[in-house]
Amino acid sequence: MAVTNLNPKAKGIEDDPYYQERVDLAAVFRWTARLNMHESVANHFSLAVSDDGSKFLINPNCRHFALMRASDLLLLDANDDATMDQPNAPDHTAWCIHGAMHRKVPQARCLLHVHSKYALALACLKDTSMPAIDQNTARFYGRIAVDNGFDGMGLGDEAERLPTMLGNKPILLMGNHGVLTTGVTVADAFDELYYFERACETLITALSSGRELKVLSHEVAEKTAAQWQDYPGDKNMSVAHLDAIKEILDRDEPDYRT
């Protein structure tokens, strides 16, 4: 499958079979930039749109998160060896890392990878554990896979190795590199990313005080993590989070939908 995308000004973007997926992904690109969790024109988000996970949307090379539109997103096939030969090929690390993840971990439909300030700080510590010291850190109790085998940028063997590190966890803390969150939907993966960065901020701030951490017991941490996953209410909280983001963007930056 050739690398494809639609011209931002092309008519009929709303008729694209993956239009809603494009809109959701464009929205979280914009919001991630607002939160200052992006890095220059690097970092990448992707979303599988085929049943086997191999066909996926991803941001084009060197497009700033704050400018992302639904029609900017490339449609790639993780099994197409000719992808990087196309004139509008994606960034090399985007293709290597996300292509490998979508080929090997099809259940991880949405992949969000950033080098955000606090997650990266945690990834650079010798002890990368996240003790449960509040509700947000407890959310990730027992839910983080840690990769301590950093061997350079995500090219070639390094990219092919990363999917083996995730296991059944939704979060991959990439030692000396950053973080990758996963989810069945864009809303799920972004909610994980948002709260993981908040949890890392709390932990790094508390550690910087030099005072002893007040760590929750195993029982309370486990209970709190389970409550996050089965929070009561009529509406899924991650969906409500993304809906609110899109409502704000519809008012301030409606071109993200084009």
Structure tokens at 167: 């296991």
Q: What is the pLDDT of residue 3?
A: 52
User: Do residues 115 and 129 touch, judged by C-beta distance below 8 A?
Assistant: no
Which residue carries 């069945």 as its tokens? 184
Q: What is the pLDDT of residue 87?
A: 81
Q: What is the pLDDT of residue 1?
A: 41
Q: What is the pLDDT of residue 2?
A: 46
Query: In 10 A of CB 63, how many CB atoms?
Result: 16
Task: Give pTM, 2 decimals.
Answer: 0.92
State the Cα–Cα distance between residues 54 and 110, nearest whole angstrom.
12
3-state SS class at 74? strand
First CA to last CA distance, the chain: 24
Q: What is the pLDDT of residue 153?
A: 77
Domains of the chain as residue ranges with CATH = 13-257 (3.40.225.10)
State the Cα–Cα distance between residues 238 and 100, nearest whole angstrom.
26
Structure tokens at 176: 């000396």
Q: What is the pLDDT of residue 5?
A: 52
State the Cα–Cα distance between residues 239 and 60, nearest whole angstrom.
25
State the Cα–Cα distance between residues 104 and 48, nearest whole angstrom.
12
Q: What is the pLDDT of residue 102?
A: 95
State the Cα–Cα distance between residues 5 and 162, nearest whole angstrom.
27
Q: What is the pLDDT of residue 121?
A: 98
Q: What is the pLDDT of residue 172?
A: 97
User: Do residues 56 and 102 touch, judged by C-beta distance below 8 A?
Assistant: yes
Block means of pLDDT (10 residues each) for the chain, 258 residues, are: 47 86 98 97 96 95 97 95 86 91 94 98 98 98 95 75 92 96 98 98 98 98 95 86 98 98
DSSP 154: S
Q: What are phi and psi of 144, to 5 degrees?
A: -115, 125
State the Cα–Cα distance between residues 24 and 57, nearest whole angstrom.
11
